[in-house]
Amino acid sequence: MDLHEDSPAHWNETEKAAVREQLNRLLANPFFSHSKRFPSFLRFVIEHTLDGDAENIKERTLGIEIFGRDANYDTASDPIVRVTAAEIRKRVAQYYQEPAHRDELRITLPSGSYIPQFQRSGDTAEADSAELAAASGAHPAHAEVHAKAIHAHVKRNRQLKIALACVTGILLLVGAFEIWQVNAHSAFRFFWQPVLGLDEPVLVCVADQLQYSSIALRDAADTTRQTTFKDNLAAVVIDDLSSTVKVAGILQSASKSYTLKGEGATSLVDLRNGPTVFVGAFDNAWTLRLTKPLHFHFANDAEMWKLSIVDSTNPAQQSWTVDRRVQEATNNYRDYALVARFTDSTTGKLTFILAGIGRGGTVAAGEFVTDANLLGQLKRAAQAAGDKKNLEVVLSTQIIDGQPGSPKMEAAYFW
């Protein structure tokens, strides 16, 4: 089949069907069949090209439609589209390098573009032959004399192009990975550097619950034997512990010294000694006290059935509310969390808040402050607001069977 030179949108249905058939053949190959995003990427750009919508195949569009990025996401700091395109180019080159595929219709994604191109297998060889003949000034009558030399050149040229495509793909992938590392480091530095750059040790203040009046200890020689003693045991909720461990990992990786205390054992003197990270909300009195004067803060009804994060400029809105009756009855609900970083006016020290209305919200808060992509979103929002030092972020997460999903930014405030 001879593909026209004009826009693919003007091709007949037989020609378009041939492209789609080749696409299915390509995606069935192990280079693509084990991936979800590569097939989605290729189908999107090819279908839009065949439909005459190639002019709208742009990096931002691909980021939004394929990878679910926000409409205003920063393509400079989030290279997901470029990384994926580079990997696809590499895999396409590997596919056509195999002898069994060399005579198939070629689908390529040119470097520097996301608009695919389509060629018959002989197009490249014919173009190379014509170019070589023109350069040598050979008369058509002498074509047979030069045939072997031309075909040898074409073969070497094709191999060279494939090799260059592979090398280019690898270099692009390495470059994209380095860009990701730089951006990831930049996002972490944006949020955590204010505390990591201080000489003072960090206090991590966690919620504690007096839940047990006794403790069972096992015999070292016979672990099946237990002895129960009376005790007044302060327990840390496991979901709060998840966020605490994540924060401790950040501090530890930066060789930052820290101590861990329950909120009941934490005093104002402790808070004046250095920066503090508070984990938990309605089970941590310090969190409620310190966030009360802020733009976003916690609230509840008198019966403690409805727990909320409210906007002080619009206290009537009840969008960020958890109804404990629904929570207890179904264990499927939407939870909300508050992440904050500010200098407390009372202690004069840097303060971090990681607190959910429910326990799943606190887990989501811990994930948010230790995820480079999520912190990248916050960094871009802070830059748009003028790079102010203090910030608050309201997060939401869907709880299914008690397990939280990914955190999502609902609102942010900077001052």
Alpha carbon distance 281, 4 (integer Å):
65
Residue 157 has pLDDT above 70, yes or no: no
Residue 180: left if φ>0, alpha if ψ -120 to 50, beta else—which one?
A: alpha
Q: What pTM was estimated for this model as a whole?
A: 0.54
Model confidence band, residue 413 (pLDDT cutoffs 50, 70, 90): very high
Question: What's the rounded mean pLDDT across residues 83-90?
Answer: 90
Model confidence band, residue 2 (pLDDT cutoffs 50, 70, 90): very low
Express each pLDDT in 187-205 by its tens digit: 888 999 999 888 899 999 9
Whole-number pLDDT of residue 237: 54
Q: Which of 2-6, 140-144, 228-232, 273-277 has the lowest mean pLDDT?
A: 140-144
Whole-number pLDDT of residue 180: 40
Whole-number pLDDT of residue 154: 47
Cα–Cα distance list, 181 to 69, 84, 161, 178, 189 (Å): 19, 16, 30, 5, 12
Whole-number pLDDT of residue 240: 78
Which of 131, 134, 135 has its CA nearest to residue 123? Answer: 131
Express each pLDDT in 251-269 by its tens digit: 888 888 999 998 889 999 9
